[in-house]
Structure 1
Amino acid sequence: MVMEGEKLWTPRQEFADRSNIARYQRWLKAERGIDSADYHALWRWSVKDTAGFWASIWDYFEVQSDTPYRSVLQRPADGGMMGTQWFPGSRVNYAEHLLRQEAEGGERPVFHHLSETRALATMSWRELGRQVRILATRLRAMGLQPGDRVVSYMPNVPETAIAMMATAAIGCIWSSAAPEFGVKTVIERFSQIEPKLLFAADGYRFGGKDFRREEEVRRIAGSLPSLQKIVWLPYLDPQGAPPAMPDLVSWNALMDHPEVPREGFQFTRVEHDHPLWVVFSSGTTGLPKAIVHSHVGVLLEHYKLLSFHLNLGPQSVMFFYSTTGWMMWNLVIASLLTGSAAVLYDGNPAYPSPDFLWKLAADTRATSFGASPTFVQMMEKAGLKPGEQYDLSALEGIVVAGAPSTPETFAWFYKAVKQDLWVTSQSGGTEICSGFVGATPTLPVHAGEIQTRMLGMDVHAWTDDGKELVDEVGELIVTQPFPSMPIHFWNDTGGKRYRESYFEVFPGVWRHGDFIKINHRGGCYIYGRSDSTLNRFGVRIGTAEIYRAVEQVEEVADSLIVCVELPGGNFFMPLYLRLKPGATLDDALRKKINARLRDDCSPRHVPDRIYGVEAIPYTLTGKKMEVPVRKLLMGWPLEKAASRDAMMNPESIDWFVKFAQESTDYDWRGTAAAAKA
């Protein structure tokens, strides 16, 4: 049995010395006179001298700007984090930097791509640049201007990456939803930002089954009055005729235009606060938050993250299983900043066999492999040993993300894959499109432990009254601004929702909503969400999305849902219902509710169990008490989980107290012990 914190791996000296971060440290010493004895000294400097650190990132990666920046950062008048401007005066383009390696990359693969409808193939740097320039030129010809919104309802295929890069290249604002999202979920997101153009695919294949999306696209388009054009990708049926929809053009027709020479193409370099994309939160307290990031902020953060914390470079091949509705897809595409190739896969990760992704990793010579703790548990239960079955000699690092990792998760890689392996865990969020805590190739790996706080991220564990904790669990907070903070939320007048989301609990300090423990050596442990956002199998789900679907079922009067992280990377997501008089919670109603959630939202929104209750607990201000119920299920005593005095209907909590004590449908004990440590 592996113990938490047990040392599992120490980097070879040669591996550490040739790492990107070691090279950066040597550059800092030569160019800036900053001599950091080890990573921890480097981190302390990066958060103490915020301006000096981020200026060094700008210079080290030779960011291209039309004009020089006036200052590295400009804080608001109140001196807080919210509203900080980064590199004001600069004019950059994110897509231009993604394609900087095109000339040098030439015919070298930039994408290895595979799906359940397409065989494994590659796309070269030269071909990617050619297609991005053609598409960007056609978008300009359609009249799209910088600041216009372009959205996508497409799978994880090269065309989606090309569409994103072409959109950013001309200064338009990108947003993406995965094709498995239900119509309502997509409309709730895209209607907020009023897009002019929609990229849409005819469907997708998952687990050998086709899911056509013509009707869904028709309904989405009909609910977006701002939409002027649809670009149609015949993906499931390449020879199929486009549907009869107004203002629709096929992808193939759009791309059937002369090549645009690299020397003659102009990227639209935009101001420091110009939006790059809109990514959406999970919608816990209403409509999903439309989170806006800037070109310059994401560019600086991604250079740092991918180079220093994932150790990617021109010889790397990055693979992380993701859909286009998750920020990890953005990060996979961002790997191009380092000259790395990326692996794109659309389909079921365990189809036609549980070891399928390992075969893909071997076939593409992946150097970095992304996995979730749930995926690892599935591998272990299947008795798989990928290291014996496949040639994984190119593999250097593992990125475990999407949920808290256990010591057993780490140990499995060393037993079943290979012994000389940099196994890392990362944690961040859609809000920052990056990580707060993660890895560095110069530190050892300890079982279940995230190696360190990332450079430039002044992360701490705090008590509820703002005292710092070491070797104890507290709230994850960040005390210094960083470039990939949202520049704002879309349509958030006065920044009210932004402030409430991250700066209300500790004024002027970012509170992320995760439980974290930072030990005496700087290692980090994430213990799940401290707020009510559901985190299931690495995908954050909003409770409001589920309520909007469930409470339209005729028999349902009210509902409450929570998600509890369990030991071994598992989750328990129960749904509690108050039914209307005369209704009965039988199998037929359960099936009806699950079908509604699957169709309106996605399969991930379907709960593990459905229970009937007499009443749903509410606060005095009318908010459903999701966090207190979740804490009860994690083993917290009532007096620490909730205050009856703050409840609209105090007696309603008694059922949940009894349920948490007596239910055998889940085992929370490992998580409860961690949460209350």
Structure 2
Amino acid sequence: MNERQPGMIAASIVWEPSERRVSESNIKKFSDQIGIPFEPYENLHRWSIEQPEAFWSTVWDFAGIIGDKGETILLPAEDDGMLGAKWFPEADINLAENLLRGNDSRIAVYEANEHGVQKGVKMSELRSMVAKAQEGLRKLGVEKGDRVAGIVKNDLQSLVSLLATASLGAVWSSCSPDFGGKGIIDRIGQVQPKVLIAVLEYEYNGKSFNVRENIMAVSDELESVSAVVSLSETTDFALNSDVQLSTWCELLANDMEEPTFTRVPFNHPLYILYTSGTTGLPKCIVHSVGGVLLQHVKEHQLHCDVKKDDILSWYTSTSWMMYPWLVSGLASEASIVVYDGAPILKNRNSILWEIAEEIGITHFGTSPKYLATLEKCGYEPGENNDLSALKALMTTGAPLIGEQYDWVYDKIKEDLLLESISGGTEIIGCFFMGTPIHPVIRGEITCKALGMAVEILDDAGSSVIEEKGELVCTQGFPSMPLTFWGEGGDDRYFNTYFSKNEGIWTHGDLVKETREGTFIIYGRTDTVLNPGGVRIGTSEIYRIVEQMPQIKDSLVFGYPIENDEEVALCIMTENEGLDEEVVEEIRRNIRMKASPRHVPRRIYLVNEIPYTNNGKKVEGAVRSILHGQDVKNKASLANPGCLEEYLTLNKKNYF
């Protein structure tokens, strides 16, 4: 077995596709269509970035995009830079028209919750519901370009609301109901929606939560809102007298059966998504209809090998970019699963796998954190569930560590395409993915995504291999944001992604490209540790610590000392205790599996680890506290109360 240095990550193949799988793959058919062999993949990728007009035009044709493509594929920016270029400037399309496609009798959506699969919805039924919701929104005054905001669960009503909004050429933006009133206002308040669609209560892990007060507070705060649609059967709460209040049933109370579609230009706004916002107000990222659709069909069909009649699931909330990514699966004529609830229930770890077995999920999307939790609680999906239909398991949200690759193939399924994918809300897609033609390498992301001109730069701005560096993208792509919503949005957009390296997108990830063309992600550059001038990604420590059975969760950050910093580690243990023996084991494991530089000088026992509402650890919030700075947007945190413990961290004893 070869060893990569540094990092102690084994370069071992844990899965290879069969000849049949390769020959029947979408990417093989795509390569046949363009006349360029798919092996070696590097040649296909090079063509996709050297001939971007031909590549993206062929993606349009291969996916059968509904709409007028036009003759011109790309109008370059005046300075030939990434900003200002216009993709498909003559095109007219509509997202909903592309998603509501296919055989009327096929199941388009499976709706599920903590009680299991509730129903399957045929495409004809979905089209009818969208038609009625479209007419209801039209009567509320929604027109092309208006914003419709949802405070919604990941369920059928939310999906219908999104599709109805898109069908009108309007703009959709959503938050999950577990955000507090301030968190919602900080987000959708910035985009001033005309209509608010909201749940009044939701269930999570068997508990019911009433959010009426939050909805009333949001409605009172947003002067732009002229109508609120309650997704509950009653409207038992008060709003301002000039705001129209109706129920979901009332919205759909019309005779429409077939939706109409307002086609819009390729770069017309479709979604407004939000960054986590822990260092200030969330950034409102505006994404285009064409960019979203083209990026997603490329990723689904060419990289994930999603085909007609496959069943795609992803555990996500409506606040996360993976929600619209999931919804776009309909454009490939796959069925999608909308699941509302907790991924792991009290005394029932199996809920998502029971759903997968019942309906035959082919593509299962989740997070490394979820897999780690399953492993620690001892649940083995492959042993307990029939997963014969499952073809691919995909993860994102954090790096998937090598040991988790082993666990997936040992405890879920041996013959499985495992894809650790990485990108961001900012591009509503991925820079790195896998394919059904590549072997899967333990602990490494398989390849650059087609059409994405990715490089890794060192501190001098030179492209490097086998060294940690900054992830950049050197050419434009269709799913680049249009702007940040609000005053000065263009300037804020430029300053966020283009100010560090002139003319190229700087993403903010610390990454290493291997000689084999695979990738290892070490974390965000703004949370990189730098003790004694040595750059350490936080994931290098997480991958070791969180494999220890005694450790329930952990957080790594740089503890400031004079003009330097020390590696600090906060841990939660399974038995809520910590002794010298466990501490020594932690340090010994990190020293052996990483390096002496990685060993934390300070180890603290804490009661809770701070997370964003989208399930990402918040090292930056703790670092801000220790630097005496305020955490500017606690509303972005799922558990902001836990920060009180970190305010006194420098007074606590540590190991």
Settle same-fold status: TM greater than 0.5: yes
Pair 1:486-2:469 in alignment: no
Q: 1:606 to 1:27 in 2, by over 3 A?
A: closer
State the distance in 2 between where 1:355 and 1:25 align. Answer: 39
Q: What corresponds to 1:112 in structure 2?
A: 110
Q: Work out which of the residue numbers 498, 515, 526 in structure 1 matches 2:510.
A: 515
Q: What residue in structure 1 maps to residue 322 of structure 2?
A: 328
Q: Which residue of 1 aligns with 2:339?
A: 345
Among candidates 199, 204, 211, match of residue 201 of structure 1: 199
Partner of 1:307: 301
CA contact (8 A) 1:514 1:529 kept: yes
Q: How big is the shift at 1:608?
A: 9.6
CA distance in 2, matches of 1:107, 1:338: 16
Letter matched to residue 200 of structure 2:
D
Compared CA separation, residues 230 and 623, structure 1 to 2 (3 A)? closer
Structure 2 length-normalised TM: 0.81
Task: Kindly indicate whether residue 385 of structure 2 is the aligned counterpart of residue 390 of structure 1.
Answer: yes
Deviation at 1:315, TM superposition (A): 2.4
Q: Which residue identity does 1:252 align to in structure 2? A: C
Residue 575 to residue 42, structure 1, CA distance change in 2 (3 Å): closer
Cα distance 1:533–1:284, how it changes in 2: closer, same or farther (>3 A)? farther
Question: What one-letter code is carried by the residue in structure 2 that aligns with 1:525?
Answer: I
Alignment of 1:179-258 (within 5 A): 179-234=177-232, 238=233, 240-245=234-239, 246-258=243-255
In the aligned structure 1, how far is the partner of 2:508 from the partner of 2:473?
11
**One-letter amino acid of the counterpart of residue 210, structure 1:** S
1:475 to 457, 467, 470: 470
Residue 572 (structure 1) aligned to one of 547, 555, 562 = 555
In the alignment, the residues of structure 2 paired with residue 279 and residue 425 of structure 1 have an alpha-carbon distance, to the nearest angstrom, of 22
What does 1:492-571 align with in structure 2 at a 5 Å threshold? 492-493=487-488, 495-531=490-526, 566-567=542-543, 571=554
Q: 1:380 corresponds to which residue?
A: 375
Match of residue 435, structure 1, among 398, 409, 430: 430
Name the SS of the counterpart of 1:345 in structure 2: strand
1:631 is matched with none
- CA shift in 2, pair 1:492/1:523, >3 Å: farther
1:575 shift after superposition: 11
Q: Where do 4+ consecutive residues of structure 1 move more than 4 Å? A: 562-565, 568-571, 573-577, 601-615
The answer to whether structure 1 residue 77 and structure 2 residue 83 are counterparts is: no
Relative distance call for 1:455 and 1:8 in structure 2 (3 A) is same
Task: After TM superposition, give the deviation of residue 59 of structure 1 in Å.
Answer: 2.1
Does residue 23 of structure 2 align to residue 17 of structure 1? yes
Partners of 1:575 and 1:609 within 8 A in 2: no
Cα deviation per residue 1:232-269 (whole Å; 9 max; x = unaligned)? Answer: 001xxx5x4543334111001111221333xxx43000
The match for 2:14 is 8
Please tell me whether the aligned partners of residues 182 and 602 of structure 1 are also in contact (alpha carbons under 8 angstroms).
Answer: no
Written as runs of structure 1 = structure 2, the 5 A alignment for 1:635-674 is: 663-664=654-655
- Does structure 1 retain, via aligned residues, the 8 Å contact 2:527–2:619? no
Unmatched runs of 5 consecutive residues or more in structure 1: 535-561, 578-593, 625-654, 665-677
Q: Structure 2 regions of 5+ residues with no counterpart?
A: 2-7, 530-537, 547-552, 561-606, 633-647
Cα displacement string for residues 473-499 of structure 1 (whole angstroms, at most 9, x for unaligned residues): 110100111100001111243711111
Post-superposition Cα deviations, 1:332-387, rounded to whole Å, max 9, x if no partner, equal 11111111111111111111412221112111211111121121112212222211
Q: Tell me the amino acid that sits aligned with residue 567 of structure 1.
A: R
- Structure 2 partner of 1:150: 148
Amino acid at match of 1:110: A
* Counterpart residue number, 1:96: 97
Write the distance in 2 (CA, Å) between the matches of 1:18 and 1:117.
36
CA gap of 1:214–1:446, structure 2 versus 1, over 3 A, is: same
Q: What SS is found at the alignment partner of 2:203?
A: strand
Q: What is the distance in 1 between the residues matched to 2:148 and 2:621? A: 38
CA distance in 1, matches of 2:21, 2:264: 38
Distance between the aligned counterparts of 2:528 and 2:212, measured in 1? 31
Tell me how far 1:270 sits from its aligned partner. Answer: 0.6
- Which string of whole-angstrom CA distances, capped at 9 and with x for unpartnered residues, describes residues 489-546 of structure 1? 1124371111111101111100100011111111111111112599xxxxxxxxxxxx
Q: CA RMSD in A?
A: 3.2
Give the equivalent residue in structure 2 for 1:400: 395
Question: For residues 619 and 419 of structure 2, what CA distance do their matches in structure 1 show?
Answer: 29
TM-score computed with the length of structure 1 as normaliser: 0.78
**Equivalent in 235, 256, 261 of residue 259 of structure 1:** 256
Number of aligned positions between the proteins: 569
CA 1:62–1:659: 2 relative to 1, 3 Å: farther
Contact 1:574/1:610 (8 A) holds in 2: no
Deviation of 1:394 (Å): 0.3
Deviation sequence 1:522-571 (CA, Å, 0-9, x none):
1111111112599xxxxxxxxxxxxxxxxxxxxxxxxxxx9997115664
Contact 1:178–1:325 at 8 Å: present in 2 too? yes
Q: CA deviation at 1:422?
A: 0.9
Moved more, 331-340 or 241-250: 241-250
Measured at CA, do residues 384 and 209 of structure 1 come closer, stay the same or move farther in structure 2, by a change above 3 Å?
A: same
8 Å contact from structure 1 (residues 472, 518) kept in 2: yes
Is contact 2:22–2:437 with CA below 8 Å preserved after alignment? yes
Alignment of 1:33-72 (within 5 A): 34-66=36-68, 68-72=69-73
Asked if 1 retains the 8 angstrom alpha-carbon contact of 2:235 and 2:246, the reply is no
1:63 counterpart SS class:
coil
Contact 1:397 1:421 in 2 (8 A): yes
Structure 1 SS opposite 2:436:
coil
Tell whether the 8 Å contact from 1:232 to 1:242 is kept in structure 2 after alignment.
Answer: no
Q: 1:409 aligns with which of 401, 404, 408?
A: 404
1:429-450 Cα shifts (integer Å, max 9, x gaps): 0001111001100000110111
Q: Distance in 1 between matches of 2:195 and 2:177?
A: 16
Shift of 1:331: 0.8
1:256 is paired with a residue of what secondary structure?
coil
**Deviation (angstroms), 1:4:** 2.6
1:319 touches 1:368 (CA, 8 Å); kept in 2? yes
Residue 297 (structure 1) aligned to one of 291, 300, 304: 291
Bigger shift: residues 348-357 or 207-216: 348-357
> 1:611 and 1:88 mapped to 2: Cα distance?
45
